[in-house]
Chains A and B, each alone.
Chain A
Amino acid sequence: MHHVIVKRFAMLLMVLYVISILIFAVLVTP
Chain B
Amino acid sequence: MHMTVRGIIFFAIYLFLVTLPLDVALIVNARTGTLANNIAAGAGFLGLTLMATEFLLISRIKAAAQPFGEDALQLFHNIMGVAALVFLLAHPIFMIVTGYPANCWLNPFAGCANQLTISAALALYGLILLIVSSIFRKQLRVRYEVWQIMHGLLAIFILLGAMPHIFTLGRFSNTPLMKAMWTVYAVIVVWVIFWYKIFRPILSWDKSWEVVENRVERGDANTLVLKPVGHEGFSFEPGQYAWIKQGKTPFGIGQHPISFSSDGDVAPGGTVSFTVKKLGDWSGKIVPAIESGEQMWVDGPFGALSADREQGMGYVLIAGGIGITPLYSICQTLAQRGDVRPVLLFYGGRDYESLTFREELDALQGQMNLQVVYVLSDPADDWQGERGFINSDVLKRYLPKQYRRFVYFICGPEPLMDAMEQALPELGIPREKVLSERFGMV
Which A residues are closer than 8 A to B by beta carbons?
1-7, 9-10, 13-14, 17, 20-22, 24-30
Contact = CB atoms under 8 A, between A and B. Distances in A.
Contacts of B38: 24-25, 28-29
Interface SS of chain B: helix
Contacts of B434: 2
B79 A28 contact: no
Interface of B: 18-19, 22, 25-26, 29-35, 37-39, 41-43, 46, 68-69, 71-72, 75-76, 79-80, 83, 86-87, 304, 417, 421-422, 431, 434, 436, 438
B323 to A, nearest CB: 14
Given A14-B83, A21-B43, A30 B32 contact: yes
A24 B27 CA distance: 11
Nearest to A2: B421
A7 B75 contact: yes
Given A2-B421, A10-B79, A10-B80, A25 B26 contact: no
Contact of B42 (A5, A7, A14, A21): A21
A6 B29 contact: no
A14 B384 CA distance: 50
B363 to A, nearest CB: 33
A20 B69 CA distance: 28
A7 B414 CA distance: 14
Contacts of B80: 10
Contact of B33 (A1, A9, A13, A29): A29
21 contacts: A1-B72, A3-B417, A10-B79, A10-B80, A14-B83, A20-B22, A20-B42, A21-B22, A21-B43, A22-B39, A22-B42, A24-B22, A24-B42, A25-B39, A28-B29, A28-B30, A28-B33, A28-B38, A28-B41, A29-B33, A29-B37
B166 to A, nearest CB: 16
B87 A17 contact: yes
Nearest to A27: B26
A21 B30 CA distance: 16
A24 B40 CA distance: 11
Contacts of B417: 3
A4 B32 CA distance: 42
- State the majority secondary structure of interface residues on A: helix
B34 A20 contact: no
Give me the 10 closest cross-chain CB pairs, A-B, nearest first: A21-B42, A25-B38, A1-B72, A10-B79, A25-B39, A24-B42, A24-B22, A29-B35, A30-B31, A6-B72
Q: Which of A4, A20, A21, A27 has the most CB of B within 10 A?
A: A21
Given A4-B421, A7-B79, A10-B76, A25 B68 contact: no
A3 B75 contact: yes
Given A25-B38, A28-B31, A29-B34, A3 B438 contact: yes
A23 to B, nearest CB: 9
B367 to A, nearest CB: 32
A2 B431 CA distance: 8
A24 B26 contact: yes
Contacts of A6: 72, 75-76, 79
Nearest to B437: A1
A2 B35 contact: no
Chain A CB within 10 Å, residue with most, of B25, B26, B76: B76
Given A1-B436, A10-B76, A17-B46, 20 more contacts: A1-B68, A1-B69, A1-B72, A3-B72, A3-B421, A3-B436, A6-B79, A7-B75, A9-B76, A17-B83, A20-B22, A20-B46, A21-B46, A22-B39, A22-B42, A24-B38, A25-B35, A28-B25, A28-B41, A29-B33
A13 B49 CA distance: 14
A10 to B, nearest CB: 4
